[in-house]
Amino acid sequence: MRRVVCPGSFDPVTNGHLDIVSRASGLYDEVVVAVLINITKKTLFTVDERVEIWEEVTKDYGNVRVDRFHGLLVDFCAANGINTVVRGLRAVSDFEYEMQMAQMNYRLAKVETLFMSTNPLYSFLSSSMIKEIARYGGDVSGLVPEPVVSRLRTRLAEE
Ligand code: PNS
């Protein structure tokens, strides 16, 4: 079975992330979305919430499984029989960091990384920008999946 992982913080999931996962699901037998459990960084959404959102937005795909991980991505890959990571590349500014991670993951465990060019409709999107816009009352509909729009509204009203 050709299985790949799409890892990330996904705080929150954007339409750019969803586009990559959706395209990867058409290319591979199984796509595992791996949500990072980051205990050192304060996130707007808990890992349970981020997993729940992914499950909701990928429920119709059939070959997308959502999981969580902490520690090294290569260890998650080994535990799940995965040797390929799929990452979206938005712009040249992403390249340096992504290349470094890809080379390190290959050096650590021969885990390959395949880069998918982001849909130009979403190339300017980032989770941190979405949070900032939503926090100041801007409209993020069309940039993130609908469940994220409503959860952002609720969460930011609580702050
Ligand atoms: O969405 P992000 O925050 O850009 O995703 C980054 C992520 C989660 C893919 C990366 O930080 C990661 O793999 N973290 C796990 C720790 C690890 O394996 N570090 C070494 C990779 S070089």
127 part of the active site: yes
| b/e burial code for range 2-36 (CB count within 10 A of at least 16 → b) | ebbbbbbbbbbbbbbbbbbbbbbbeebebbbbbbb
Among 17, 50, 87, 151, the one annotated catalytic: 17
Distance 53 CA to ligand 1 centre (A): 20
- pLDDT tens-digit series, residues 85-97: 999 999 888 999 9
Question: Residue 154, SS3?
Answer: helix
Nearest CA to ligand 1 atom 13: 73
| Residue 148 confidence (pLDDT) | 98
- Beta bridge mates, 5: 32, 85
SS3 content of the chain, % helix, strand, coil (to 5): 45, 20, 35
Structure token pair of residue 62: 């059939």
Count of helix runs (H) and strand runs (E) in the chain: 6, 5
- pLDDT tens-digit series, residues 113-159: 999 999 999 999 999 999 999 999 999 999 999 999 999 999 998 88
Cβ 7 under 6 angstroms from ligand 1: yes
117 part of the active site: no
- pLDDT tens-digit series, residues 31-61: 999 999 998 989 999 999 999 999 999 999 9
131 part of the active site: no
| Residue 159 confidence (pLDDT) | 80
39 or 15, which is more confident: 15
Cβ 101 under 6 angstroms from ligand 1: yes
Nearest CA to ligand 1 atom 4: 8
- C-alpha distances in Å from residue 29, one per residue of 66, 80, 153: 14, 14, 35
Question: Residue 140, SS3?
Answer: coil
- Beta bridge mates, 6: 33
